[in-house]
Chain A
Amino acid sequence: MAKQAVQLTKKNRTKFRFQKLKMCKKCNRYSVLKDHHCPTCGSTFVELDSLIKSIVRNKLFNEACLILILVCIGIVGAPTVKTLYYSLIAGLVFCLLYVVLTFFYFKSENFIQLKLLLRSDLSKIKSGIHYDTVLAEEEARDNMLSMAYEKYREIGDFILNDAIKLRQVKLLNDMILRSDMELEIEGLVPSGYDPDFVTYTLEAIKINRSLVTKKCIGYFVQFKEEVIRDFGMDSLITVAGTALRMKLYIMEFSEFIEEYLDYFPKERVLRLCSILHANPDINWGSLGDKTKSLVSVKYNYDPDFKRFVS
């Protein structure tokens, strides 16, 4: 199947993941998708923050009603005019203190209510996310790749299993990847070896090398043999080359880099040399020695390496 050229929208970002949860009050169903309207009934989704605030407000309103009734009973039941005034003043002071108290603790009440709601509605949230997955599957079947991927991307923030990750990877492999797309690798790393993931990663590296993180390099190190078998050594040389992006990665994966050092293009060797040269205090072990010998053998007369050759 030919790859599709698609336009991906930006990911919905919130400070906390639960803030992405929204609810259709009519269907009593949760969703994590970006849609503002329920696909079943068409009514507007209510965000979790607003839902919590309205629950707390309703609770406070009910309490306020009970208090007012109590104060009224107290006033009405007063035997003399003097006690009536006294009850009225006491009731007003009480109401005032009650309002101040609840206002002061409003944030922690919201927090407790959120905790309770997430626990009590867990099965509803799960079934809501399951329904979102069904919608994404339908779109994937109808070849609406970008829409299906965007749905899986949102679901993937909540459901961390390989099935969701690999569905995203498969959809990404059917798209023409571009640098203006908001791509990621870290969140899609599966627990086992998967050729589709490797295909996607190698494609994404071509577009943006900075997508490769420690977890991703670790994956390639772990499944080195399988990757060589299915994709050849060039793929591992590429990944080892991207590990030169950061000093920390070089220290962490020095053995892996050393293994493929001889096959690195000049630009990557130059990058490694500059990092080693800029950090002489760090013990680079055998990687440092091997780099030195490689430079003296292969690039001894290269002007770009002049400052590294002593």
Chain B
Amino acid sequence: MYSIGFTSLLVIILCWKAYKLMKNKRNSGNFQEVDDELIIMLNEGEANG
């Protein structure tokens, strides 16, 4: 009983970790997008001149 409980706990942690990693992988775009986003954020509210 103890072994089953312990193994189940480890499997749950592993599944949760895999889910989180896969979710992050799905949400990750490309570095060019991050680069463009940074430039937009830095120049927000910047008046020309």
Contacts and interface: CB of A to CB of B under 8 A. Distances in A.
Given A18-B35, A90-B3, A161-B49, A102 B21 contact: yes
Contacts of A122: 41-42
A102 B24 CA distance: 12
A18 B6 contact: no
Q: Is the interface of B mostly helix, strand, loop or mixed?
A: helix
Interface in A83-111: 83, 86-87, 90-91, 94, 97-98, 101-102, 104-105, 108-109, 111
A272 to B, nearest CB: 35
A78 B21 CA distance: 31
Given A86-B3, A90-B7, A163 B49 contact: yes
A268 B17 CA distance: 67
Q: Is the interface of A mostly helix, strand, loop or mixed?
A: helix
Given A16-B32, A112-B24, A114-B34, A87 B39 contact: no
B35 A87 contact: no
A160 B43 contact: yes
Interface string A59-100: 000000001001100100111000100110011001001100
Nearest to B42: A158
A181 interface: no
Contacts of B32: 16
Interface size range on A against B:
35 or more
A101 B18 contact: yes
A171 interface: no
A112 B38 CA distance: 14
Interface of A: 15-18, 67, 70-71, 74, 77-79, 83, 86-87, 90-91, 94, 97-98, 101-102, 104-105, 108-109, 111-112, 114-115, 118-119, 122, 125-126, 129, 158-163, 190-192
Interface of B: 2-3, 6-7, 9-10, 13-14, 17-18, 21-22, 24-25, 27-29, 31-32, 34-35, 37-39, 41-43, 46-49
